[in-house]
Structure 1
């Protein structure tokens, strides 16, 4: 072998990655999972401590809960808490991009959870997620973790106030937070643009009000004791609410383009959706949760001239027709995608049309999507109606039900769909 070939081989075998500056290596490590990042410590002495400066502390271990049982849950919780605490003891960076906790924990683990809240804020986390949703039962046996007064006092201190300003994304799920605590974050985090709260029993009222707020996304989900919500936020782009009937006050949201409304109230009653209707003309996407428990669906009189994507999430104990959902589409002249997500317990043996549904040409609709498709004649009837009225339809997407018997029936019905499809329409079956 020539000397030049030997040099080339030696060059190829050199560890060029390890020669990169520390900040670039830490950036690379931060893109790995925490367990993968920790494994890099064995590569060489150069790598031994680099992972302890990782900027992303993502402790999402929810996948481990899929096969957890009551007799093993406490052991899994202890293992999870030990893992988080061990990583935090080793971690040396003074700031992080994200700090994410996702696992089944409750109020009996208050000391550990509160310590993690302190740590996330002290490390100036830009994204903080605390998701303690239980894997086995609701509500948690030992009660929902409550955001402690000690944590709140720390946030209000000069040290806490200086560090909380880094927050851009804040998500609490199955964490009891009050109006006072949430409004503290809203009013003291100038960079906060995404706030999400789920399953907080202590949240009774909330004001998201301020001309200087930078908040772009506000999502409130299953806060079942919420009574009143006031929104006045010129930067808001996305508002999603799922829950009980509430007093909703909405004004000064000129950029709002994405809305989800759903919950036990039902779409026909209009008590939650009413104040939002004034902003329907500017929406680009709208998701409505519909309970088919009335003979006639009462959709609000509205115009949706800018709407591009309309999604219906439909729940029903019994269903004889889905065609009533199409009545709202005549208000959406530029609609390009229509999604039906079906959560129906039982379809009637016979398709019963109580009211004639008039035909209405949809000249911009390109994509029709069924999620939770089981292949029932009621679903095929709706699909056929859309085929007749969507003049430039390009694609139909079908995602079968999660339940295997229904999924098998859906696969068989896919052949019927193919025969019904207009020329040029592509069927995508997941």
Structure 2
């Protein structure tokens, strides 16, 4: 005993830990790190063979720098993965293949996944990611045997090409509850076929994917749906029991978006500034705004048969409070969804406020947020509000003033602005508060943070501009939509 602690004969206290804890430590490491632990002691040597999770990250294996320069070195990725899987004593529950496109071809990937699934019947989570497929426009065509994902509960596919025949890999996937597809190129109807086969799917994400012009989501078991960075003509979401919906940076005609949900609880709508710049530059269209979704999915227009927001609890949107049309769409939703408790509004950057409709109001614009009968949830249920990108303009100030003076149950209002607007935001702190529970928090976002974001966007745009081969093909695909 030394210093009150019991130490093993070799002086390594980790050897006193239970085997289960050591296996948990091993499982949290990448494959190369797990392999290195075998030199620590005789007890550590066999532990990696019992790891429940293996992460085959090609950026950290086989001298990753040389993999970019020498394709022959990159080919060792498949050999190492195969060797590790064959020497592992099965029992894997999670596995990830993350590799450079030169590391594996379609045939080798198929063989490795087949080996993995045959040796590990308890595997529940699988991630397949080709890191630089889009950069070189080298997409591996997925070609798996029918029902290979039968036992999985979670699956992520990143940067692959899928045809309708590939959907057979999802046959009988009754255990699959989470599916994420990112940067995929898929034939028309692939998504529909996959969703039909995954009868118990609860979470589905489709991000930066293309090759299809119509998207139909009608899986009745879905609880969470995420659609980001898509360029389509039509989106039809018919999921009655969906609870969480995320729509971000969609290039779709507003009338092409049809949503039927009766019990939506959480809604997020936004536009990534980078996506807006890229899509406007290369596709010549603007990204769908939150205003479009609010108008078309709230019953504001007679063509919409159901207000999807009526049972909403949490809303997060990009919306210009200074634009009268956008403010009208928000006010209609606030009037109709009386259960809303949390509201998060991001004021878009570089969007001109349109005052052309001001004359249509039967009262001065400055009185817009002062009407008592228009905002039921604000007065009765709303508890948390966040305003991001506060600019201090009249309608933003009026909206916050309304919350402070009218909302009886509100607990916290958070205002985020840059340092030049501190004085305008500080004035709101002295207003008389209707709610005795209310606290107002002012957060300052320094300008250097905004500059950093702008530089990242410029860098991505610059690299994408030089990647002409990719965008030539993308433009050809969407020209036929």
Q: Is TM (by shorter chain) over 0.5?
A: yes
Alignment of 1:1-400 (within 5 A): 11-12=6-7, 17-19=14-16, 22-59=19-56, 74-75=68-69, 86=80, 89-91=83-85, 92-102=88-98, 105=101, 110=106, 113-114=109-110, 116-124=112-120, 125-132=123-130, 134=132, 139-147=134-142, 149=143, 152=144, 155-156=145-146, 161=147, 164-182=149-167, 184-185=169-170, 187-205=171-189, 206-207=192-193, 213-242=199-228, 243-248=230-235, 251=238, 253-262=239-248, 263-266=250-253, 269-272=254-257, 274=258, 276-277=259-260, 279=261, 281-289=262-270, 291-292=288-289, 298-300=295-297, 301=299, 302=307, 304-313=309-318, 323-324=327-328, 326-327=330-331, 328-341=333-346, 344-347=349-352, 354=358, 356=365, 357-358=368-369, 359=371, 360-361=375-376, 362=378, 363-371=380-388, 373=389, 375-378=390-393, 381-382=395-396, 384-389=398-403, 390-397=407-414
Tell me if structure 2 keeps the 8 A contact 1:77–1:104: no
In structure 2, runs of 5+ residues without a counterpart are 272-287, 300-306, 446-481
Q: Equivalents in 1 of 2:79, 2:225: separation in Å?
A: 35
Q: Equivalents in 2 of 1:223, 1:295: separation in Å?
A: 22
Q: TM-score, normalization: structure 1?
A: 0.72
Tell me if structure 2 keeps the 8 A contact 1:209–1:230: no
Tell me if structure 2 keeps the 8 A contact 1:174–1:198: yes
C-alpha displacement at 1:169, in angstroms? Answer: 0.9
Q: Equivalents in 2 of 1:78, 1:368: separation in Å?
A: 56
C-alpha displacement at 1:201, in angstroms? Answer: 2.2
Q: Equivalents in 2 of 1:257, 1:183: separation in Å?
A: 28
In structure 1, runs of 5+ residues without a counterpart are 1-5, 401-409
C-alpha displacement at 1:230, in angstroms? Answer: 4.2
Deviations 1:199-220 (A, max 9, x none): 3223311235659821101222
Change (3 A) 1:298 1:23: closer
Change (3 A) 1:377 1:418: closer
Tell me if structure 2 keeps the 8 A contact 1:26–1:54: yes
- Aligned residue for 2:231, secondary structure, equals coil
Tell me if structure 2 keeps the 8 A contact 1:106–1:144: no
C-alpha displacement at 1:13, in angstroms? Answer: 5.2
- Aligned residue for 1:27, secondary structure, equals helix
1:412 pairs with 2:408 = no
Tell me if structure 1 keeps the 8 A contact 2:67–2:73: no
C-alpha displacement at 1:174, in angstroms? Answer: 1.7
Quote the RMSD (CA, aligned, Å): 4.3
C-alpha displacement at 1:336, in angstroms? Answer: 1.5
The structure carrying a bigger helix percent of its residues is 2
- Aligned residue for 1:96, secondary structure, equals coil
State the aligned residue count.
384
Q: Equivalents in 2 of 1:295, 1:246: separation in Å?
A: 15
Tell me if structure 1 keeps the 8 A contact 2:319–2:326: no
Change (3 A) 1:289 1:295: closer
Q: Equivalents in 1 of 2:412, 2:166: separation in Å?
A: 46
Change (3 A) 1:178 1:412: same
Change (3 A) 1:347 1:209: closer
